Structure 1
Amino acid sequence: MSLSEQLPRIDAFDAPLGAEVVGADLSGDDIRRDVAQTKAALDKHLVVRLRGQKLDEASLIAFSRHFGELQPAPASEYYSAGAIERYPEIFVVSNIRENGRVIGTLGNAEAEWHTDMSYVDVPPGPTILYAKEVTRSGGETSLCNMFLAYEALPEALKRRVATLRCKHDSSYTSAGDLRKGADAVTSAREAPGAIHPLVRVHPVNGRRALYLGRRRNAYLVGLSEKDSEALLDELWSYVTRPEHIWTQQWQVGDVLLWDNRWTMHHRNPFDSGERRLMLRTQVYGERPLAASA
């Protein structure tokens, strides 16, 4: 087999999730083999990194579309004046100011543990995040394996949560900011947002995972707010254990994909004087499949 015919290599991380596709070039004319290897790695490892990529907005969208139909970027008061107008599928994550105006969103503060857009009725599948500018320190992205979080639960707790449903608040961002046009939430029970199964089932292999979305204003339907808060706190204590987490140290040219159905992620804060510029696309998912008792 010639070098040009060799498939990119999948190197699994020594971690509870994640792998790197080595030797891929997403800017080439024919990326079908790169896409096939990336899909295989994502299915098995939940998070995939491809390093050293050189993409413009069009090529990022073209690559992303191999994974399904793309969602429009969520509403933001910080639309990029250029890319978003021409490419509505791209969400700009940045703290950079140009002519006194922020060109992206989420700033430089810590982004809390969350699953992207779980507050909609049909939440996304993969997220693709491309690094154009990165900081010297800070800004790392950690991800956790929600299959392992569920499997770590005691059997009695698994039975308790098997058929519960969780409301996912839509009023706040993952950085803790109130969304434009939203009202401050005073009761988790009354918060706006979609309701999903607390235990989500893989549609192909039947494996179960916790589906928590984000902690702020989450509410377990049918429970008192006090009981909901106590149970959610207990569940979250399993999610954020070190043995369930892998952390991405960003380099310029990194493309990172993760499956929102089975992972959560958060970002570390960084110095506001450093520039960070990331381009994000998201693929439509499906309604979460509930577990039976």
Structure 2
Amino acid sequence: MNLKYEPLSTYVGVELKDVILSDLYASDEFYWRLRQILADHLVVLVRNQDLSAEQLEGLAGRFGPLMNTRTPSVEAHHIGGAIKVISNGTDATGRRLGNGNASAQVWHTDSSAPWEVPSGHVILYCKKAPRKPPRTFFMDMRRVYASLPSELQNKISKLRVIHHHYPREHEVAISEAGPSYPIEIRKIGPVHPLVRRHLSTQAPMLYLPTRRDSLVVGLTEEESRALLTELWRHVDEAPYRCAVALEPDDLVLWDNGACVHGREGWSEDEVRVLWHQSAAGEIPVPYSPEAGTRNESLLPSLA
């Protein structure tokens, strides 16, 4: 299948052209070609689509078991069996249209906590947007890892970190200025490798917890914070990103293990509504050069 696409940036992401996902989402040929494109470019944008909830779940389900990542403590509208609605709006009765708000968000990976098996791929499908849609940014963490100094790569090669859960941890104000949980709570959560194998290409990639106050196994609390702050600084300064401003009926699909993402905020006076669907991936596996041979046909240049 010959799919046409254009780059979203020099380093990561493409926009598919002239496709109708409602006709193609169940096609094996389309799925395997899409997997190849994702392995290389990590982020795929498709504009002007008309998808039902069942079709969106069908597309996500090609990548793995569907995950329900809704916040159970929040009374909000959601769609279908596992689609989470992300919105800052309310209905006429005051009930929330979905989980979420209009705050800006820091770089993060979806569902690295509290799930032992995080999302492998995630879809956002826009249903309503502000007049000036906020941009969502995606960063290629394979390239970030490749850009680290060799001594830092060696230092973190075998380290693991606890991804503890923190409510609203993605918001900029909470992440940067919010108080830490007691250390006893920060010891609870999945323990993931700092350098993870990218399943599609066997490339190493940096896999960070959202919270800078997370604990690195074998390091003190102060050493952990210093190391994670240093690694996140490399992410903040790296150019390996693209930006997507979703209009109504636009869809973006990404490799959640290999990318971090963040977004701009917008005025609470304007309502944004997204359908969010996750597919489970693999338990994060530490990268080992001896574990397998890279598929050079899929691996982009990381120089």
Same fold (TM over 0.5): yes
3-state SS of 1:58 partner: helix
1:68 paired with 2:68, answer no
1:28 paired with 2:23, answer yes
Indicate conservation of the 8 Å contact 2:77/2:98, yes or no: no
Superposed displacement of residue 242, structure 1: 4.6
Q: What letter corresponds to residue 88 of structure 2 in structure 1?
A: N
Partner of residue 258 from structure 1, selected from 254, 259, 262: 254
What is the CA–CA distance in structure 2 between the aligned matches of 1:129 and 1:59, rounded to whole Å? 13
Cα gap change, 1:175 to 1:230, in 2 (>3 Å): closer
Partner of residue 241 from structure 1, selected from 234, 237, 240: 237
Indicate conservation of the 8 Å contact 2:9/2:242, yes or no: no
Q: Deviations over 1:157-213 (max 9, x none)?
A: 1110000001111132344499xxxxx712287342111000001235321110003
TM-score (norm 2): 0.85
Superposed displacement of residue 8, structure 1: 3.2
Cα gap change, 1:188 to 1:265, in 2 (>3 Å): farther
What is the CA–CA distance in structure 1 between the aligned matches of 2:170 and 2:238, rounded to whole Å? 22
Partner of residue 105 from structure 1, selected from 81, 99, 102: 99
Partner of residue 94 from structure 1, selected from 68, 83, 87: 87
Aligned to 1:3: none
Aligned to 1:181: none
What is the CA–CA distance in structure 2 between the aligned matches of 1:240 and 1:30, rounded to whole Å? 35
What is the CA–CA distance in structure 2 between the aligned matches of 1:106 and 1:188, rounded to whole Å? 28
Q: What letter corresponds to residue 267 of structure 1 in structure 2?
A: R
1:211 paired with 2:204, answer no
Aligned to 2:7: 12
Indicate conservation of the 8 Å contact 1:201/1:291, yes or no: yes
What is the CA–CA distance in structure 2 between the aligned matches of 1:115 and 1:198, rounded to whole Å? 13
Superposed displacement of residue 89, structure 1: 1.1
Aligned to 1:46: 42
**Structure 1 regions of 5+ residues with no counterpart?**
1-5, 179-183
Cα gap change, 1:34 to 1:251, in 2 (>3 Å): farther
Superposed displacement of residue 267, structure 1: 1.4
Q: 1:1-293 residue pairs with structure 2 within 5 A?
A: 7-28=2-23, 31-32=26-27, 33-81=29-77, 83=79, 87-98=80-91, 99-119=93-113, 120-176=115-171, 185-187=181-183, 190-292=186-288
Q: Deviations over 1:64-122 (max 9, x none)?
A: 21222211233333354462xxx231011001111112111121111221100001211
Superposed displacement of residue 25, structure 1: 0.6
3-state SS of 1:243 partner: coil
What is the CA–CA distance in structure 1 between the aligned matches of 2:72 and 2:216, rounded to whole Å? 28
**Structure 2 regions of 5+ residues with no counterpart?**
175-179, 290-303
Indicate conservation of the 8 Å contact 1:109/1:175, yes or no: no
Superposed displacement of residue 59, structure 1: 1.6
Indicate conservation of the 8 Å contact 2:123/2:251, yes or no: yes
Aligned-residue identity in percent: 29
Indicate conservation of the 8 Å contact 1:47/1:256, yes or no: yes
Indicate conservation of the 8 Å contact 1:95/1:107, yes or no: yes
Greater displacement, 164-173 / 193-202: 164-173
What is the CA–CA distance in structure 2 between the aligned matches of 1:22 and 1:139, rounded to whole Å? 22
Aligned length: 281
What is the CA–CA distance in structure 1 between the aligned matches of 2:42 and 2:56, rounded to whole Å? 20
Cα gap change, 1:231 to 1:110, in 2 (>3 Å): same
What is the CA–CA distance in structure 1 between the aligned matches of 2:24 and 2:37, rounded to whole Å? 22
Q: CA RMSD in A?
A: 2.3
